[in-house]
């Protein structure tokens, strides 16, 4: 059975190194027999802002719950067209790859906004349907990122360090993936891409090609915090 991968790019320049990683991923996955779906967020001019346009204006004056209104819109098939199109892609995908630069310690805003508008309550999770019971259980999510800082910055100790490795840096996103039921793959990072020479950039491309070639054998990223929250949820649902 053919597997499907969704590759999401967040970079405003089509000639960027980040975009070349997207191109490598798409080609490799297709060569491996995957059906590949794409979302180029800047090219699509994707709206990353959750607003009342995403659901019916609530009748109760002065207050409304975004979560509740989104679920109502999803259940009634009244979501905005751009959200519906992205949900269809996610629904079909076995793997979801987020390709982006590291900006201000996380996803670019447009990609974070994609998460907020698309991976919403009713579709990706719901009350008592998260972690092991999340609606996206069985799917895998992977982050492919470029950084401006060298590899040494992403370590526990040293003169120039953030005190965390690249996986821990994206732990907030991995917890979101886990909340929806997905498994997180270890982050694939290319470090200091504006500082290294062309040969190192080419080496990163080769590494990504090899990483993707073994993607179905790569074990999910295990983190104590993720495991702890999953175990706590199991205790709540079985109590």
pTM score, whole prediction: 0.91
Find tokens 């079985």 and name the residue.
238
Helix axes 109-118, 81-92, angle to 10 degrees: 80
Between the alpha carbon of residue 200 and those of residues 17, 68, 137, 192, 204, the distances in Å are: 12, 48, 36, 10, 6
Tell me how far apart the alpha carbons of residues 133 and 182 are, in angstroms, rounded to a whole number.
10
Residue 78 CB partners (closer than 8 Å, separation 6+): 55, 56, 72
- Contact yes or no for 43/125 (Cβ under 8 A): no
- Contact yes or no for 94/139 (Cβ under 8 A): yes
Domains of the chain, earliest start first? 4-238 (3.40.50.360)
Total Cβ atoms within 10 A of residue 164: 14
pLDDT tens-digit series, residues 183-199: 999 999 999 998 999 99
Res 158: pLDDT: 62
- Contact yes or no for 172/107 (Cβ under 8 A): no
Res 136: pLDDT: 98
């Amino acid at each position: 059975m053919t597997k499907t991968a969704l590759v999401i790019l967040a970079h405003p320049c089509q000639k960027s190194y980040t975009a070349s990683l997207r191109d490598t991923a798409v080609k490799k996955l297709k060569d491996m027999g995957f059906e590949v779906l794409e979302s180029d967020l800047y090219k699509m001019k994707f709206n990353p802002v959750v607003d009342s346009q995403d659901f019916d204006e609530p009748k109760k004056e002065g207050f409304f719950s975004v979560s509740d209104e989104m679920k109502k819109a999803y259940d009634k098939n009244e979501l905005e067209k751009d959200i519906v199109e992205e949900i269809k892609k996610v629904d079909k995908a076995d793997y979801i790859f987020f390709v982006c630069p590291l900006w201000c310690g996380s996803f670019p805003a447009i990609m974070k906004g994609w998460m907020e508008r698309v991976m919403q309550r009713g579709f990706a999770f719901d009350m008592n349907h998260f972690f092991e019971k999340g609606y996206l259980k069985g799917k895998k999510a992977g982050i492919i990122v470029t950084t401006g800082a060298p590899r040494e910055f992403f370590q526990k100790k040293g003169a120039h360090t953030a005190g965390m490795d690249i996986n821990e840096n994206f732990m907030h996103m991995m917890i979101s993936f886990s909340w929806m039921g997905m498994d997180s793959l270890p982050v694939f990072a290319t470090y200091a891409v504006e500082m290294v020479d062309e040969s190192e950039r080419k080496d990163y491309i080769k590494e990504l090609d090899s990483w993707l070639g073994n993607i179905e054998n790569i074990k999910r990223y295990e983190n104590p915090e993720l495991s702890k929250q999953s175990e706590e949820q199991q205790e709540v649902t079985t109590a």
